[in-house]
Structures are given as structure tokens and as C-alpha cells.
Amino acid sequence: MGEPVDRSSFEQRDFLRFRRALQAETDWLHDLVERDGLSRHEPMAGLELEAWLIDAAGCAAPRNAEFIARCGTPDVVTEIGRFNVEFNVPPQPVRGAGLGRLQASLQSLWAQGRAVAADMGLQLVAVGILPSLREAELTPANLSEPLRYRALNQQVLRQRHGRPARLDIRGPGGTRLQLQHMDAMLEAAATSFQLHLQLPWPQAARAHNAAMVASAPLLAMAGNSPLLFGQALWQETRIPLFEQALGLGARIDGTHPDLPRVGFGSGYVGYSMLESFRENLERFEPLLPMSLDTPPDRLAHLRLHNGTIWRWNRPVLGFDEGDGCPHLRTEHRPLPAGPSLPDMMANLAFGIGLIRAWAAADTPPESLLPFAQAEANFHAAARDGLAARLVAPDGHERGASDWLQQLLPLARQGLQQMQVDDALAEGWMQLVRQRLARGLTGARWQLDRLDALNGDLAALTLDYAQRQAGGAPVHLW
């Protein structure tokens, strides 16, 4: 999605040309896999943090173009809504103090962003869904300036044949939100903290499957999106919101069932993550059929197409710094932005430790837990958070909080296997232990605080922003 787009409408010949390039590049990637030509680099981790700009009243402030210009760094970029921005932190080797450097880079970039926002009379807030957000703010007038977002919006409408997206989210307490929305701007209501994990090629497929199994417990402990347009819904309302926001399935050609463009995926990978790129080619119509003037071995069409298919665990193709060797890594997308930088780094450390440990286990967890159950776990965790009932790979159903307590030593083991500094690793694991002991996620805090504020969403947003700025993890709020 970062590729430049120079127009918003396309002709049939553009789609045909794009599909030919996509076929050629998918074949090229297949040959690369067959030649064992993918990177065996040591474990690497990276992250992306999406955030909101808010004004003094706690409302979304659609001023990201000015904010980004003032930041003056390529590491701060647009998101689809003019009130959203994204922070990209360069990846680091996981071993030693690498994750500490990753945290320091995030803190530095975030501090710079906060200072720029303050100079504009605004605040920068990392939260899954802004509590004060109104549906009336999600209009094409608030699409970010880069043309690719208008192109995306137009192509989403084309593939929906002009029909609206239908949102229908039922909360566990009997609440229900139903609405229809004509454009793609519902996507702008959900912001996330995305972690990237690159392991040596022989371990990549196992790690990708482990990330799917790990999605439910990770999401249960990280929930931070309980409110949408003033209604209390799921602990992680981002999940059903984004899954329904675009209203797009796969291209139906009579040989395949419909496959959502946003979702958990169609199954574990077997031989390699290449299978996901084959599925992209065969089952998803291009959204942005650009003609990209790049060498075939840069796989630009394949990467652009993959960027318009939003699996919660998405395989990503990149290139190592230095020698430029191609690699495949997992982009783990379920986690929400916030509630604090320490919380997000603890989520990242716990997540990559658990994924690494399961990827190295003698018995693959994906061989024990059916994919349909992993997906059911994921939605249960999104709905109920730490109170969710989840089925573990051993076949036993557990409360999410109890299972997470049991997984802590395994996550710690995975960090040890990747030679993460002991003091750093223990600090993050201790933060997770304390959060579980209090049973206080960002979502739970928001709901409790909203009650104390008699339902004042703007006051909740400003209170949240103030506590986040203080830097303490949520269990101390």
C-alpha cells in the first residue's frame, strides 16, 4: 500500500496487465523458494504504531498532512483517515539488547510526534478506537491526501457494485450496533500496533502458524477497543469492525467459496508462506492495478496486491538490509494501539517469545489445534478479553487469563532461545504478570472510567490521553 498511485480509476486493460505481472512475480517467488534463495538472517523484529490526532476538546483532528510535514521524517506517514498517522520503527535483531533499541527508537519517535502535535495545539493518542469518534467524521472529506486512498475508496465501491458496507456487531451484554456505510472510511476507525517477526527461512512457516495459534491469547491480554460511536461492544471491537468495514469478499469464479478480504485466513500454511501468495493470485481480484516500472525481482506488483489483503497474520515479503536478500516475515496485525508504550512493548516481547517457542516445539501446536478452533478462539478473545474461554492445543478449554499465566514461562523460553537480554525480557514478562494479576486491560479501564464519568466520551478520551502521556502501564492507571 506504500507504492505511489497516480490515479483513482482504472480500465479493463489495467487489470489484465496487472494480473500478468502478478502471475509472473508469483512464479518468480516460487522459483526462489525452490532454489532455497530466501534469507536465513538471524531473528529480526519491527513494529508499526498507528495513532490519532485529537484537539483540545478530545475530538479527532483531521490535520495529518501538516503534522507529517512538521515531523520531517519518512518514519511518520499517513493512514487512510486525515486524523490518523503511522509510526514505523526500523527493525532490529532480536538478540541481546535489540528489543531495547527497538523500544528506545519508538520512544524517541513518539516523543518527537508528541512535541510536534503540542506545537499545533493537538495531542497524539494511541488507542484502538477513539472513544469520542463519531460516524459523521468518517466521510470521504476526511480521506488522507495521497491519491492511493481515494483510489482504494473508489475501487472498494466498484467491487461492492455501489452497495454499502453493513456493520452488525452484537456485544456480550445485549448491546448491538447496526449501520450501513457507503465508503471505505470505516477502516479509519481502527488503529493498531503491528509487530513484525522475521525468522530464518526454515523456521518461517512454523512461526507463521504459531502466530495464528497465539493470536487469541495475545489479543485477550491486549484489548483496548471497547467503544464504537458511544456503544460498549467487544473488548476488541476493532476486530469485527475491520472485518465488516470494507464489505469485500474474494472474487467468486465458481470454483472457490467466498473468502473475506479482511479476516483470519483460510487455513494454516503447509510447505511455506508461498501458499498465501498463490491464494492471493487465485482468489482475490486486484484493488489497485497499477503498472509499476520496477525490475521483476523487486516483486512490486505482488507486494502491492498483498497489501490490499488484510489477514490478521499477513505474510510479508521484504529485503534484508545490506545484501538485499529476499525474506518472508509474519506481520502480526491483531493488537490494538495503546494503552501505553510499555504495555505495547510487553505485548511485542510476549508475542514473539511465544511464537518462537511454539515454532521450535517438538509437536507443532497447529497439528493439535484445528484451524477453525484457532479462529473461534480469536473471535472469543476479541469479544470477551481476559474473561474469554479458549481451547488450548492440548484440547482443554481454559479461561484466557489462566492460560496466559501458563504461557508466560513458554514466552520467556522463546526469548531465551533468541538470546534476548535477560533483564529486558524479565521486565516485560513482569509487566504482563502484573496486568494479569490486576485483570486490567485498556478496554476494561476505558469501560470502568466511562462509568465514573457518567458516559462522557470526550472526558474519557482526554483522561486516557493524559494517563498515556504519563508513561505508566495500564495496570497502574
What is this structure's pTM?
A: 0.96
- Tell me the three cell numbers of residue 91: 527493525
Q: Distance between CA atoms of 105 and 100, rounded to whole angstroms?
A: 9
Q: Is residue 7 part of a domain?
A: no
Mark residue 385 as left, alpha or beta (left: phi above 0; alpha: psi -120 to 50; beta: remaining).
left
Q: Distance between CA atoms of 2 and 424, rounded to whole angstroms?
A: 33
- Tell me the three cell numbers of residue 128: 484502538
**CATH number of domain containing 94:** 3.30.590.20
How many domains does the chain fold into? 1
Q: What is the mean pLDDT of residues 211-226?
A: 98
Q: What is the mean pLDDT of residues 137-147?
A: 95
Q: How far apart are the first and last CA of the chain?
A: 36
Q: Is residue 352 part of a domain?
A: yes
Q: Is residue 4 part of a domain?
A: no
Q: Is residue 365 part of a domain?
A: yes
Q: In this predicted structure, what is the pLDDT of residue 271?
A: 87
pLDDT tens readout for residues 92-123: 999 999 999 999 999 999 999 999 999 999 99
Question: Quick check: 181 and 139 in contact, CB under 8 A?
Answer: no
pLDDT tens readout for residues 348-396: 999 999 999 999 999 999 999 999 999 999 999 999 999 999 999 999 9
**Burial of 24 per CB tally in 10 Å (0-12, 13-18, 19+):** middle
Q: Is residue 233 part of a domain?
A: yes
Q: Is residue 3 part of a domain?
A: no
Q: Is residue 2 part of a domain?
A: no
pLDDT tens readout for residues 439-474: 999 999 999 999 999 999 999 999 999 999 999 999
Closest of 195, 244, 172 to residue 91, by C-alpha = 195
Q: Is residue 477 part of a domain?
A: no
Q: What is the mean pLDDT of residues 136-150?
A: 94
Range of the domain at 26: 12-471
Q: In this predicted structure, what is the pLDDT of residue 255?
A: 39
Q: Distance between CA atoms of 475 and 395, rounded to whole angstroms?
A: 31
Q: Distance between CA atoms of 314 and 335, rounded to whole angstroms?
A: 13
Q: What is the mean pLDDT of residues 178-196?
A: 97
**Residue 127 has what DSSP assignment?**
-
Question: pLDDT above 90 covers what percent of the chain?
Answer: 92
